[in-house]
Amino acid sequence: MKREIYAELLNWKDSKHRMPLILRGARQVGKTYILKKFAEENFKSYIYVNFEEQKTTKTFFEGNLDPTKIISNLELHHHTKMEPNTSVIILDEIQECPEALTSLKYFNEKVPAYHVIAAGSLLGVKMGQGSGFPVGQVHFLDLYPLSFNEFLGALGEDPLREALSNITLETPLPEAIHLTCMDILKTYMLVGGLPGVVNAFLPDQDFMKAREVQDHLLKGYQADFAKHAPPTDAIKILNLWESIPQQLSKDNKKFMFNVAKSGARAREYEIALRWLIDAGLIISLPNIETPGTPLTVYKSKTIFKIYMFDTGLLGALSKLDPKILTEPNGVFTTFKGAFTENYVLQALTTCGKSNLAYWTSSGQAEVDFIYEHEGHNYPLEVKSATEKRKKSLKVYADKYHPDFLSRTSSRNLKRDNDIVNYPLYLVSTFPDLAL
């Protein structure tokens, strides 16, 4: 399974200013697989340590964190000789060994010729950023669920994937191929991008096999709530998690704590909400009323929407029937279009476009996404096939006069006067194709 992050791993390997790497991501996004594949294909030797499974290995990081001693112990334990520049050490589930996280500082300072990669859940690495965290001594990469382009690769649709990478506003896909992409996108939205789910789906393209894995993963995430969160917060985390489909099915998709539990207040659930965000399981989209720059200072801390990090899991959590694919626009209109919004946010976040918000104007107009790039704010409207929308983009344009307007929908790539329409499967190229 080809992952686009592989090229970034190669760049890190060959960098003259290389520091130890921390690969972050939610559980089950494929961190272990990609790191082992990378090690096997690019190094003469490697040592893989999983701190959850190899608990005794933690003793190598007790007391003196001299990296030469750590390397020597790892060599003896794994019967593998490590050499500078041609070997790599992988420290997986590093959140289970905070001392190993601290040791990365000394690997960088004392033995920089050795390649060292740590991997861990977003939550674990976040919680580990205490006094011993190697600030300024590590490089970060984030791994997400498979993007639509990566899903095409998993399906063996490499020519189509290549065609999408070369597309321009002047050369949209022929309509027949565009419709093929839209059909594949429906499948992707229901399967999602978690590698285990994709692998279960691929042999027979069986949605029920994919759903079995999704249900198993959901149980695993819920077990994590109880394992890693304080008991007083675990129930709150579960309540918030299970409320997401209901939150997204409301006419007003603003997140409301009392949907998770009647009478719940923000101050009682703030820690639970932050836990899910730090774990990478949900994505918060803040509201803005004034789209100034930098966008961050205009984002509301109390008004926001919440989406899941993977549409496939959202479908499983809500028990969405895969038969919805037989309806022409069923997937796109699910949750009154919020299922499509979830896909769009996932697609934009996956390609690094995380400085996002949504805009409202006195309850009269709403633009789904505002993205700040190089000091400019770019509005994006998400349009489902049958959705009737207000003229929100026009309201926004009349007030703020952006360089251009953008919409993503089931229509083909096209510029209509001052509006650029991105087909949903190309939304990751927003706003780049129009710049």
**197-207 tens-digit pLDDT:** 999 999 999 99
Q: Residue 258 pLDDT more than 70?
A: yes
Cα gap 282→276, rounded to integer Å: 6
- This prediction has a pTM of 0.93
Residues of the chain with pLDDT > 90, as a percent, come to 83
More confident residue, 224 or 160: 160
Q: Residue 194 pLDDT more than 80?
A: yes
- In this predicted structure, which of 49-58, 117-126, 279-288 has the lowest mean pLDDT? 117-126
Domain assignments of the chain as residue spans, ordered by start: 5-142, 148-434
User: pLDDT value at position 129?
Assistant: 52
Identify whether the C-beta of residue 265 lies closer than 8 Å to the C-beta of residue 302.
Answer: no
Task: Give residue-wise pLDDT tens across range 372-384.
Answer: 999 999 999 999 7
Instruction: Give the mean model confidence (pLDDT) for residues 143-149.
Output: 97
Instruction: Give the mean model confidence (pLDDT) for residues 379-401.
Output: 82
- Rank 78-92, 331-345, 385-399 by mean pLDDT and report only the highest: 78-92
User: pLDDT value at position 123?
Assistant: 59
User: pLDDT value at position 136?
Assistant: 86
Token pair 């334990």 is found at 77
Q: What is the CB neighbour count within 10 angstroms for residue 326?
A: 8
Identify whether the C-beta of residue 190 lies closer than 8 Å to the C-beta of residue 207.
Answer: yes
User: Which of the four pLDDT bands, split at 50, 70 and 90, describes residue 385?
Assistant: low
User: Which of the four pLDDT bands, split at 50, 70 and 90, describes residue 130?
Assistant: low
More confident residue, 133 or 153: 153
More confident residue, 230 or 379: 379
Instruction: Name the strands in the sheet holding 376-382, side by side, starting at the edge strand that comes first in the sequence.
Output: 304-308, 282-288, 356-361, 365-373, 376-382, 405-409, 419-423, 414-416
Record: fold of 5-142: Rossmann fold (3.40.50)
User: pLDDT value at position 416?
Assistant: 87
- Please list the residues that pair with 119 across neighbouring strands: 23
